[in-house]
Amino acid sequence: MDIKQYMQQVGQQARTASRAIARAGSNAKNAALTAIADAIEAQRPQLLKANSRDLEAGRERGLDAALLDRLELNDERIAGMAEGLRQIAALPDPVGEIADMTYRPSGIQVGKMRVPLGVIGIIYESRPNVTADAAALCLKSGNAAILRGGSEAEHSNQAIAACIHEGLEKAGLPRDAVQVVNTTDRAAVGELIAMPEYVDVIVPRGGKGLIERISADARVPVIKHLHGVCHVYIDDQADRDKAIQVAFNAKTQRYGTCNTMETLLVADDIAADVLPELGAMFKEKGVELRGCEATRRILTDIVAATDEDWDAEYLAPILSIRIVRHMEDAIEHIHRHSSGHTESILTENIGRARRFLTEVDSSSVMVNASTRFADGFEYGLGAEIGISTDKIHVRGPVGLEGLTSQKYIVIGDGHIRL
């Protein structure tokens, strides 16, 4: 069987299983999630053994330390996977929720019912815990999943798949509700993203390169999480101390996350008041600052920012700083350079807060809060499969609801259209 035939078979099986999982009740789905968590804990030795094969192969192939760290499973991470599954079991089930049911003048009742998308293809890189995580979110939202992990985590992913299948069978749900693609051939990805008859949406999780490649070639809708070039704007009517704390937190609370501030915009009139203290704090923390000309007249020992800096997602202790005349210029800069992920204004002026919230076109827009809050758990979604920087279907952190849609339902009593 070649790759195309294999992926077609995977697709057909997913489509068939999607009908069963779509109508499965919450109890069955939760039982499956709990059984998967139990299996993961019970099969810890097998998971560690499979993982050690991946780690060994990775070392032989010369993977760097960061990649090997992402690849590694240990007792704590296995416990974390099981805990994540139980948390998702505890979330409310979005499927079947009926909203806005009203009588129309014709006498029919019209409302919307929340329904699964069908089959979700997830393409991801080295972290094996994504296998359990993504499977759980798809299951709970009533979708069948086709998971394609990185080849470097092959054995770990298959071992986790065994736990998932055990849990599904215990709960009386079809094994094929979650399939982990059983080949490391790259052509499998090409097939997966070109089967609109079997796959309803693709969620790629990984680097910008992977996501851009997939988006360019996909014949199926893609929920993209491209990258995070996030901005904080300190308005001249900001509270000086709050502004310094929030801007510092947005950059330094964690460097490698997509909701970390990458560029700080400061209103001209407050720059001389906030930048010296902020500059000293960043310096002490080891953050490299790159400034515009005006910034460098205040922070005289920092390097000049280049044009590339305004578009950079550093994911590192580096920050670019630009002084702008007023909020309009800040918004203009954001619309030109932001990736549409998260932006925050720091101001005590309610009019400006209102305008910033309305006019900035990003998936999360904030007032007096650190961009680091842009996250499914902080927002109360309970779990997240990614953060969408797309504009259609879903924006921002994507939880269970983002993996569903709404269909119309109509109830009459023999009503005909006149």
- Site for its own copies, residues 243 to 262, rule: CB under 8 A: 243, 245-246, 248-250, 253
Among 2, 9, 19, 272, binds its own copies (CB under 8 A): 19
> What is the smallest separation between the CB atom of 348 and its own copies, expressed in angstroms?
9
Vertex 352 angle, CA 347 and 354, to 5°: 110
The smaller minimum CB distance to its own copies, of residues 113 and 294, is found at: 113
Residues 74-103 that bind its own copies (CB under 8 A): 96, 102
Stretch that binds its own copies, among 69-77, 282-290, 321-329, 376-384 (CB under 8 A): 376-384
If phi over 0 gives left and psi between -120 and 50 gives alpha, with beta otherwise, what is residue 62?
A: left
Query: Cα separation of 169 and 312, whole Å?
Result: 47
Copy the structure tokens of residue 101: 């049911």
If phi over 0 gives left and psi between -120 and 50 gives alpha, with beta otherwise, what is residue 99?
A: beta
Vertex 191 angle, CA 185 and 193, to 5°: 120
Q: Give the per-residue contact string, 137-176, with its own copies (x = CB under 8 A; - = no).
A: ----------------------------------------
Q: Give the per-residue contact string, 386-405, with its own copies (x = CB under 8 A; - = no).
A: ----xxxx-xxx-------x
Q: Quick one: DSSP state of residue 287?
A: -
Among 232, 365, 383, 385, binds its own copies (CB under 8 A): 365
The smaller minimum CB distance to its own copies, of residues 309 and 390, is found at: 390
Query: Cα separation of 367 and 16, whole Å?
Result: 46
Copy the structure tokens of residue 360: 């900035």
Query: Is 409 a residue that touches its own copies (CB under 8 A)?
Result: yes
Q: Assess contact for 234 and 266: CB atoms under 8 A.
A: yes
The smaller minimum CB distance to its own copies, of residues 106 and 182, is found at: 106
Residues 315-354 that bind its own copies (CB under 8 A): 335, 344, 353
The smaller minimum CB distance to its own copies, of residues 129 and 344, is found at: 344
Strands (DSSP E) found in 62-211: 98-103, 109-116, 119-124, 144-148, 178-180, 201-205
Counting every residue written for the chain, the total comes to 418
Query: Is 117 a residue that touches its own copies (CB under 8 A)?
Result: yes
* Bridge partners of residue 233, in order along the sequence: 265, 345
Residues binding its own copies: number (CB under 8 A): 72
